Amino acid sequence: MVRGEPDKQQAIDCIALGSAGGVDDTATAVMAVARRSGAIELVSPLTGAPLGTIPPAAPAAKGSNGSGKQQEDAARVRGLHLIWGSSGSLPAVLSVTQGGTARVHSAAAAAAGEQPQDGGSAAPAAWEQQRSWQVPPQVCSTAYDAASGRLAVGCEGAELRLFDASSGELAFAFKGGKPNKVGLVDKPWNTAIAFLPPSSTSSSGGGAAAGGSSDAAAGGSGDAPGAAGTRLVVGTGYHKLRLYDSAAGKRPQMELSWSKGRITALALEPDGRRCWVGNGQGQLEVLDLEARRFSGAIKGLAGSARALVVHPGGEVLASVCLDRYLRLHSCATRQLLAKVYCKTLPTGVAFCPTDASMLPPLEQPAAGGDSAEERRRRKQEKKRERRSSQAAAEATEKGSEDEGMAAADAAAGAADSDEELGGSEEEAEEQQQRRRHKRGKRGGEGGGRRQQRQR
């Protein structure tokens, strides 16, 4: 490859970033990057030091009839997650390819504790494959729950399934929604998945529950209600949002239709009460899972939403779209905090463990919250102010118009009076001229007669 020439095989499909101690732990921060070729690179997000490379997955079946392009797409990584253990500073890497191969890699025991710290450098670690299993092909999205160790896999052509990441066994298989009024059912196409935390709102009340206890008994999941790794929010390619609960049944406990675009990204807030949803039309709204309705939208996005992530503190939402902008919004007020142009098409976003002082200042809402009544009252006050200012301006304009009209009337009256006076003088002069003319004629005729008589 010529230096400086772009290589499509080096494009980044997805990223995973985290640390053992949370967002404030910068010593154990690790970032995994999945290239388009299927290779996975691990680096330190703060220093950029390489931590190792995982080779691409082998084809699922030898001698397949697929073309070279299909085989390359099957090797692309669609799900990438970090599994933190109790020992060692490097996590295990869980990856799922588009072709349906799930793998777990961990660093060699000798190199597990050699992560460079304080800007130091160390030799990249050797990564060994611990286990591998097959999931349905055409993988579109995945999600991993650290509390239960479960992996959720959403595909095009297969319904949502839960796997045990420690053994690779199938833990639960969900079903799609019920047929509509005309008996049609959407084909499986799960494009975005997010696990709900155990402490969030329950999924048993209200909503479009479909399935019930019969499916739960048939599935035999044995999950306790509200347990970790049992409830998920799923977005489909048919602009629908579903809430699944393996303890309640196989079918979705809630199903909402939103807009007209394919749902591309989901981001849950830490408490699990609200979920940010983005679609292929550049729309971004927040879903209130307790009220089961959308409670607000963010404007200004252009192009498909590629990735969403909420800060672990629950204050900031980061989003990247096809318009090549990285945006930071406040989760409380939905105001834009920062916007950065990325030059290239972004495919993923994640918060790096760092000092909290680097975050932009946030405008805290007033005590008691910004209720709808307060917003309505402020709008009414603004309307009254606008009306009063408009009325004052109209009165001023009307007064000036009246004064101008009065002055014009006075001037017209003066002109009319002048014209009348001028007209009377002219008439008097004309009458005098007529009288003089008549007198002259009479005097001339009479004088002539007198002269003739004298002769």
Q: What is the pLDDT of residues 333-374, one digit of tens each?
A: 999 999 999 999 999 999 998 766 555 665 555 555 555 667
Of 215-224, 287-296, 371-380, minimum mean pLDDT range: 215-224
Instruction: Give me the phi and psi of 392, to 5 degrees please.
Output: -65, -40
Candidates 191, 451, 152; CA nearest to 306 is 191
User: pTM, whole model, 2 decimals?
Assistant: 0.73
In this prediction, residue 206 carries a pLDDT of 44
Report the distance separating Cα 195 and Cα 151, nearest Å: 10
Torsional sign, CA 369, 372, 377, 382: positive
Residue with the bigger pLDDT between 188 and 219: it is 188
Q: Percent of the chain at pLDDT above 70?
A: 73
Sorting pLDDT into bands at 50, 70 and 90, what band is 11? very high
pLDDT > 70? residue 413? no
In this prediction, residue 55 carries a pLDDT of 94
Mean pLDDT of the chain: 82
3 state SS of 447: helix
What are the distances in angstroms from CA 451 to CA 194, 216, 440, 441, 446? 139, 151, 16, 15, 9
Question: Going along 322-364, which residue ranges are E strands?
Answer: 325-330, 336-341
Q: List pLDDT tens digits, range 96-114.
A: 999 999 999 999 865 555 5
Sorting pLDDT into bands at 50, 70 and 90, what band is 218? very low
* pLDDT, average across residues 82-108: 91
Of 209-213, 237-241, 442-446, 448-452, minimum mean pLDDT range: 209-213
Residue with the bigger pLDDT between 228 and 188: it is 188
Residue with the bigger pLDDT between 115 and 188: it is 188
Contact 47, 75 (CB under 8 A): no
Candidates 128, 98, 118, 93; CA nearest to 38 is 98
| Residue partners of 343: CB distance under 8 A and separation at least 6 | 324
Bin 149: left if φ > 0, else alpha if -120 < ψ < 50, else beta: left
In this prediction, residue 270 carries a pLDDT of 93
The encoded tokens of residue 152 equal 């959720």
The encoded tokens of residue 129 equal 């494959």
Sorting pLDDT into bands at 50, 70 and 90, what band is 225? low
Q: List pLDDT tens digits, range 31-65.
A: 999 999 999 999 999 889 999 999 999 876 554 55
Sorting pLDDT into bands at 50, 70 and 90, what band is 417? low
Q: List pLDDT tens digits, range 157-212.
A: 999 999 999 999 999 999 999 898 898 889 999 999 999 998 666 555 544 433 33
